[in-house]
Amino acid sequence: MDIKLIKAARTFLRECDFAETAHDLRTKIRIVLKEDYFMDMYYNKTLGKYTYTRAKGDKRVIGWDNAPHHKHLENFPHHFHTVNGKLIPSPLSGDPETDVYIILDHINKFFVAAKHT
């Protein structure tokens, strides 16, 4: 597993109040979140691929990735899958050590908003 992904996961665990634990799943890191959510983090420097997915059970809720199949989006190939399934451009760059802060912001805002609804 790439050291950049390991460092990003450590940052996530340290900075996210809603993260409980992490598991090394050989090709990705799974971070268990509160309320039965989890965050899967995958990064392969050699292939130039990443995916970060917040899921609950067997359903992806949201996710960021750089699969090259949405050429029409600004910031191609980086894109974000929203809660309603819409694809939008993503501000991620492909570097887990910097991208983790964007992901953290999104996850923290989600849980804070959920507390107030």
Does residue 104 surpass a pLDDT of 60? yes
**In sequence order, which residues have a C-beta less than 8 Å from that of residue 98 and are 6 or more positions away?**
none
Q: How far lies 81's CA from each of 22, 54, 61, 64, 66, in Å?
A: 23, 10, 8, 6, 11
Q: How far lies 85's CA from each of 17, 20, 38, 53, in Å?
A: 26, 27, 18, 13
Residue with the two structure tokens 């805002």: 109
Residue 116: per-residue pLDDT? 58
Q: Specify the number of domains making up the chain.
A: 1
Residue range 49-89, pLDDT digits in tens: 999 999 998 899 999 999 998 899 989 999 999 999 999 99
Closest alpha carbon to 90 in 67, 114, 59: 67
Q: Tell me which residue range forms the domain holding 64.
A: 3-115
What's the rounded Cα separation, in Å, for the pair 110 and 2? Answer: 28
Whether this model's pTM surpasses 0.75:
yes
Q: Band of the pLDDT at 9, cuts 50, 70, 90? A: very high
Which helix (H) or strand (E) is 103 found in, with range?
helix 96-115
